[in-house]
Chains A and B, each alone.
Chain A
Amino acid sequence: MAGFEILDPTVEPRRQPLTYVPRPDSLRGKRIGLVENTKFNSDKLLVKIGEILKQDYGAAETRMWRKHNAGVPAHAEIIEEAKRTVDVVVAGIGD
């Protein structure tokens, strides 16, 4: 049998630059957004984290959003509101 060629079935992931916003030097006085992913205890875990950020790190306040489900990114309304109303966001899962 003569030699032949076969084709690669995979794709190279598209590379995209990812830019992070500058991190705050301190959480003192900052407004904290919490994004929970709908799984059991996800909200409780984030509430606890929010309390620690307020008590131990001086954060001013927290507010929480709930994603549509665990498998999707935070939806547009969350992103828009977060941009307007908080300085820092903590996203986490409970499972």
Chain B
Amino acid sequence: MTARITSQRYAVDDFQEALDLCYRKGWTDGLPVVPPTEAAVRAMLDAAGLEPDAQVAFITNRQVAITAEKVAINAVMAGCLPEYMPVVLAALEGIADPRWGYHGPATSTGSAAVLMIVNGPIAKRLDFNAGDNLFSPGWRANATVGRAVRLVMRNVIGTLPGRLDRGTFGHPGRYTYVMAENEADSPWTPLHVERAGCRPSDSAVTVMAALAPIQFYNQLSSTAAGVLTTLCDTMRYPGQIGQPNYCVVLAGEHMRTIAADGWSKADIRKFIFENTTNTIAHFKRTGRLPGAVKPGDETTTRTLVQSPDDILVVAAGGRAGSFSCFIPGWASRTSSEAVTVVIKERRA
């Protein structure tokens, strides 16, 4: 790799001064960052096989080109290992995809975060957590890949909270929101194979504009329909109207119960789709649709999403505990939809 790194350089005396500079410049997410030295940035670029000036993605509405150099700098700051770079790059391609629709989910008062679901062999190789404490701190890959994407959003795309990003609440997933699917224990077809026609040997990341996870509890049912009835009862109320996607994350106990009844992911999606409808009257009474309740509204129903395929079913989470969760998407189908991107492990 020969091309020059052209980013502006700042001389510092020591680590503390580097850290102070990063805070003073507004380059951090509030947590300390790793000072991005040229050697560390070079290692990151080498791992991806990219020249510094290679364009990774283009954010149209911001007219911002995301270059490999800037991704590498932010990935170093986030604490990534160089081998995480291909995952960070794929996630950035995903959020720059017009279907994901960057401007809305990145800046809306509706406060989406970038949920990333990693599939394929890379997840195990890089030790992405797919199991116990799924969304908890403690796994470097989960913690730093999501953080790197958020730092790129902040430092490269200019998505600054309080300025371009006007989230009413934001949510903790904006620090990082990364999981892998538990393909080793799952009886089902992996998400990337179902959604993007990948081979199981491919690795991919799915990005979804997502709100916070909501968990539900069912320790009583020994059938798929029983467990999913509790899910549907919980799931049909919290959302807005017409959200583009929901992600349903089924953890160990529920996964085994549902699989024991022979249900596929398609069966799960169909059941959820059919059992999460609400009446127009309900939406009007609860201030989610305008107008007074009219004759017919009590018997006219609306589905949670447009199609069963808009429900992303993922096997992940702890082996023990009668809990699973669901994650509402952000806004509407025309505003943003989940995008699956194949991870190119080394680029020419």
Output the least CB separation between A87 and chain B (Å).
26
Q: Do B103 and A5 touch across chains, with their CB atoms under 8 A apart?
A: no
Q: A13-B64, A69-B334, A72-B61 are in contact. Are A7 and B5 (CB under 8 A)?
A: yes
> Which of A1, A3, A5, A69 interacts with B101 by CB under 8 Å?
A69
| Beta-carbon contacts under 8 Å, A11-69 to B | 11, 13-14, 16, 38, 40, 68-69
Q: Which of B57-75 contact A (CB under 8 A)?
A: 61-64, 70, 73-74
User: In the assembled complex, how far is the CB of residue B283 from the closest CB belonging to chain A, in whole angstroms?
Assistant: 13
B196 interface residue per 8 A CB criterion? no
Cα of A6 to Cα of B13 in the assembled complex, Å: 11
Min CB distance A8 to B, Å, is 4
Chain B CB count within 10 A is highest, among A3, A9, A38, for A9
A35 CB, nearest partner CB in chain B, Å:
16
With beta carbons under 8 angstroms apart, the residue of B74, B331, B332 that contacts A9 is B74
Chain B residue with the shortest CB-CB distance to A1: B14
Contact between B151 and A9, CB atoms less than 8 A apart: yes
Q: Which A residues are in CB contact (< 8 Å) with B9?
A: 5-8
> Is B36 located at the chain interface by the 8 A CB criterion?
yes
- Name B1-21 residues within 8 Å CB distance of A: 5, 7-15, 18, 21
Contacts A13-B64, A71-B104 given; indicate if A8 touches B74 (C-beta within 8 A). no
Q: Which residue of A lies closest to B69 (CB)?
A: A7
Assuming A4-B37, A6-B36, A7-B7, is B104 touching A69 (CB within 8 A)?
yes
**Contact B70 A11, beta carbon cutoff 8 Å:** yes
B275 close to A (CB within 8 Å): no
Contacts of B62 in A (CB 8 A): 13
| A70 interface hit (Cβ, 8 Å) | yes
Using known A-B contacts A6-B21, A7-B36, determine if residue A72 contacts B156 with beta carbons closer than 8 Å.
no
User: What is the interface of chain A mostly: helix, strand, loop, or mixed?
Assistant: loop
Number of B residues with CB within 8 Å of any CB on chain A: 44
The answer to whether the Cβ of B271 comes within 8 Å of any Cβ in the partner chain is: no
Q: How far is the CB of B155 from chain A (nearest CB, A)?
A: 4
* Complex interface: chain B residues within 8 A of A7 (CB): 5, 7-10, 36-38, 41, 73
User: In the complex, what's the smallest C-beta–C-beta distance from A95 to chain B, in angstroms?
Assistant: 8
A71 to B112, CA, bound (A): 13
Nearest-CB residue, chain A, relative to B64: A11
- Within the assembled complex, what's the spacing in Å between the Cα atoms of A69 and B331? 10
In this complex, which of B70, B151, B336 has the most chain A Cβ atoms within 10 angstroms of its Cβ? B70
Residues on the A chain within 8 Å of B332, using CB: 69
Are A72 and B27 in touch, CB under 8 angstroms?
A: no
Tell me the bound Cα distance from A7 to B37 in angstroms.
Answer: 6
**A71 to chain B: closest residue by CB:** B104
Q: A59 → chain B, closest Cβ, in Å?
A: 28
Contact of A16 with B38 in the complex, beta carbons under 8 Å? no
From A5, A7, A70, residue with most partner B Cβ within 10 Å: A7
Known contacts being A69-B332, A69-B335, A73-B61, is A6 close to B18, with CB within 8 Å? yes
B189 at interface by CB-CB < 8 Å: no
Q: Would A9 and B12 count as touching, CB distance under 8 A? A: no
CB <8 Å contact, B36 and A10: no
User: Quick one: given A70-B104, A72-B103, A73-B61, are A9 and B155 in contact (CB under 8 Å)?
Assistant: yes
Q: A6 is contacted by which of B37, B108, B290 (Cβ under 8 Å)? A: B37
List chain A positions with a Cβ less than 8 A from chain B.
1, 3-11, 13-14, 16, 38, 40, 68-73
7 CB contacts below 8 A, A to B, read A1-B14, A5-B10, A5-B37, A6-B10, A7-B7, A13-B63, A71-B108
7 residue pairs, one from A and one from B, having the closest CB atoms: A71-B104, A8-B8, A9-B155, A7-B7, A69-B335, A9-B73, A5-B9
